[in-house]
Chain A
Amino acid sequence: MSSEGLAIPMRAKAEGYPWQLWRTQLLTILRLELKRNFFKLRGFWIYLLAFAPAVIIAAHAATSRGRCTLEEDTTILAGIFELFYLRLGIFFGCMGIFTRLFRGEVIEKSLHYYFLAPVRRELLVLGKFLAGVIAAIFFFGSGVLLSFIFMNGHFGQAGRQYVFAGPGMGQLGSYLLVTVLACIGYGSLFLLMGILFRNPVVPAVIILLWESINNVLPAMLKKLSIIFYLLPLCPVEVPAEGLGTLFTVVADPVPIYVAIPGLLCLSALTLFYAARKIRSMEISYGTD
C-alpha cells in the first residue's frame, strides 16, 4: 500500500473554489440520505400524514355523488390544506424528516463517518437539507396533488372544466407552491432544532404554539414565523368564525412578491445559522 494521500481532485484556492468536488460530494450525500433515511417502513407515520387526507377525500368522492357542490368541495379542500396540511401534516412531517437528519445519526452513532470525510460541514448541512426537502416535497406534494384530483375528479365534466378552463389549475399550482415553500421553511427550522437540541420535541411544541398564535403577535415578530408567509399564498379563502380565524386568517398579509422571498430569506438565514453551529459540533455520543 502506498502511504501517499489521494490525488486531490480540487484546484488550489487561489485558482477558485473546488466546485467539481463539491458537486460530487453533494450528489453523494443526497444519494446516501435518500437511500438510508427515506422510503423506509419506519417513516410510515409520515406517509400517513401525507396521504390520509387523499384517502379520506377519495372515500368522500366515491360516496357523495350529487350530494355536494364544486364550490363546497373547493372550500373544504382549502380548509383541509390550511388546517391540516399546513398546520399539522407538513409541520409534523417535516419535524420527523428534518430533526432526524442529524439527531438520528447521533442516536445511531454514525455521524462521525461524515465528520471524518473530506467534506465541509456546511456542505453536509446543505446536502442533508436538500435530501429532506426532496423527500418532504415528494410525500406532501403527492398527497396534495392526489387530494386535489380526487376532490375535483368526481364532478366529471364540471370538474374538468373547473380545472382546465377555470381557476382550478391555478389553485393547484398555488397549493403545490405553498407545499414546497412550507417544506423548505419548516425543514430548515427543524434541521436547526435537530442540531441544537438533544430532544427536538420540546422546541417543536414551542414552534407549533408560536405558529398558532402568529395572528396575535406584534407586526415585527410575525415576520419570524413560517405560516405568516404561507397563508397569503393560499388560493382559496376559508370562511371561518371565532377561534377558526386564528388559524386561517392572516392579519396584515404580505403581498406575494414579499411572501416568497421573505420565506426563502428566513430559511436561508436559518440554514446559515445551522451551518455555523455544525462547524463547532462535537461527536460525544456518550452524552447524547
Chain B
Amino acid sequence: MAYAANQSILFDNVSKFYGDVLGVNRISLAIGPGVTSLVGPNGSGKTTLMNLMTGLIWPTKGSVRVLGLTAQDPERFFRLVGYCTQFDSFARGVTGREFIYDSLRLHGLTHKEAADRTQESLERVNMTEAADRKVAAYSKGMRQRVRLAQSICHHPKVLVLDEPLNGLDPMARAESMALFSALGKDGMHVIISSHILHEVDRISDQVILLNSGYVVAEGQIQGVRDEVKEHPMQIMLRCSHPGLMAAKLFAQDHIMEAKLHDDGRGMLIRTRDAGRFYSQLHEIVLEGEIDLEAVAPADDDVNSVYQYLIGSEGATV
C-alpha cells in the first residue's frame, strides 16, 4: 500500500553496519497507520530497525523519515514519536512519577500540564498506586509499564515498542495489547516487536518479517501468506461425511493432501490455491449432500508464515 510521505514511516534503501557486522541491509519499507509487528529471531534486526526509526542510531546508507521528519530535528520529531526501548534502566533514585514528569518537562510543558499528563499516563497503565515509589524497587513488569507510560505520555502519533510484553503478567499483557490495539485503531502508528507471536498476530494490521538483517516478507498477514507460493495453505474443515468431502475436493489439482480427523467429523486440507478451494467448497455445500459446520485457516497466522519463511530456527513462541 502506498502512503503519503508525511503520513508514513519510510525506510529508503537503509543499511546499518556495526563495524563489519551487519545490522540491517537494504531495507525499503513504508509503514502506515495501525499496528505493525516486527517479527524475527534474536539478531534479525528488529531493534536496529526501531533504533534507526527513532534516531538512536544513524543509517550507514539510505535514509529514514517518520511522518516526513527525521530525528535531526528533535524538537518536532520527538513530539510525534514515543519509543519504549528494551533498556531496563533508569536514572538513579527516580520515582515512577518523576520519571514521566521530567520527560514531559523536557517537552516544554508547565508544571501543571506535566503533572496532569503524568497522572493520565500512569492511569492508562494502572501504575498510580506505585507511582511515588522509587523505580529501583519496582518489579520488571512495573518497570515495563512505567516505561510504556513514559513513551505515551506526550500523546505521540508514532509509538515504537521494543518487546513491550516482556515481564508483564497475563493481566497486564492483555491490558497492554488492548491499549496497543486501541491506539492503532485511533490512527496512531504502533510498531511492535515481540516474540510472543500469537498475541502480536491478533492485533497486527500488518507484519514485517525479518531474518539476518533482511526483510523476508511484509504486508498484511493474509498478503504475506499469499507470498509463500511454494508452501500450501492448511485449512481445517468440520463437516458431515468428511470422506465424501475429501473425494469431491480431490477432483481438483490444487488439493495436495487431506487428513481426516480421528473423530470422523472433519479434516485438514492442504491446498496450493486457497481461492479456488473456497469456490469449490461453496459449490459442494450448495449440492446439499454435506453439512459444513466450520471452516478456518489452520496456519494463517504470523507464526506459521514465519516458520515457512525463515525455517525452524525462528523465534521462540
Contact = CB atoms under 8 A, between A and B. Distances in A.
Interface of A: 1-6, 8-10, 18, 20-21, 24-25, 28-29, 32, 36, 108-110, 112-121, 279-280, 282-285, 287
B119 interface: no
Contact of A1 (B54, B107, B183): B183
20 contacts: A1-B152, A2-B186, A5-B156, A8-B75, A28-B105, A32-B102, A110-B87, A110-B91, A113-B150, A116-B78, A117-B103, A118-B74, A118-B75, A118-B77, A118-B78, A119-B75, A119-B78, A282-B58, A283-B51, A287-B18
B18 A6 contact: no
Given A4-B155, A21-B75, A112-B85, A284 B106 contact: no
B108 interface: yes
B107 A113 contact: no
B91 A118 contact: no
Contact of A6 (B72, B89, B154): B154
A32 B91 contact: yes
Contacts of A117: 74, 78, 103, 106-107
Interface residues of B, number: 45
A203 B58 CA distance: 27
A136 to B, nearest CB: 20
B58 A280 contact: yes
Given A10-B75, A117-B74, A1 B124 contact: yes
A100 to B, nearest CB: 12
Contacts of B54: 116
Closest 4 pairs (CB-CB, A-B)? A109-B89, A118-B78, A117-B106, A283-B56
Interface in B163-202: 182-183, 186-188
A283 B57 contact: yes
A179 B90 CA distance: 33
A112 B108 CA distance: 18
Given A116-B83, A120-B74, A280-B58, A24 B93 contact: no
Given A6-B154, A117-B74, A25 B106 contact: yes
B76 interface: yes
Contacts of B79: 5-6, 8, 118
B57 A3 contact: no
* Residue among B51, B105, B152, B186 with the highest chain A CB neighbour number at 10 A: B105
A32 B106 CA distance: 10
Contacts, number: 112
Interface in B90-105: 90-94, 102-103, 105
Contacts of B83: 116
Contact of A8 (B74, B76, B87): B76
B157 A4 contact: yes
Given A2-B155, A283-B51, A115 B56 contact: yes
Interface in B44-73: 51, 54-58, 72
A115 B91 contact: no
Contact of B57 (A5, A108, A282): A282
Given A1-B182, A114-B106, 4 more contacts: A3-B157, A8-B75, A36-B93, A280-B58
B80 interface: yes
Secondary structure type dominating chain A contacts: loop
Contacts of B124: 1
Interface of B: 18, 51, 54-58, 72, 74-83, 85, 87, 89-94, 102-103, 105-109, 124, 150, 152, 154-157, 182-183, 186-188
A162 to B, nearest CB: 45
Max count, chain B CB within 10 A of own CB: residue among A25, A117, A121: A117
A226 to B, nearest CB: 30
Nearest to B77: A118
Nearest to B120: A1
Contacts of A5: 79-80, 154-157
A119 B57 CA distance: 16
Contacts of A25: 106, 108
A152 B156 CA distance: 61
A113 B103 contact: yes
Interface centre among B75, B80, B83, B186 (most CB of A within 10 A): B75
Given A283-B56, A285-B87, A118 B183 contact: no
A204 B179 CA distance: 49
A36 B87 contact: no
B99 to A, nearest CB: 8
Contact of A284 (B18, B80, B91): B18
Contacts of A3: 155-157, 183, 186-188
Nearest to B110: A24
Contacts of B18: 284, 287
A108 B91 contact: yes
Nearest to B117: A6
A112 B106 CA distance: 13
Contacts of B156: 3, 5
Nearest to A29: B106
B155 A118 contact: no
Given A36-B92, A110-B89, A116 B108 contact: no
A119 B104 CA distance: 11
Given A6-B155, A21-B75, A110 B90 contact: yes
Contacts of A2: 155, 186
A119 B155 contact: no
Contacts of B91: 32, 36, 108, 110, 113
Contacts of A120: 74-75
Given A5-B79, A109-B87, A285-B87, A118 B106 contact: yes
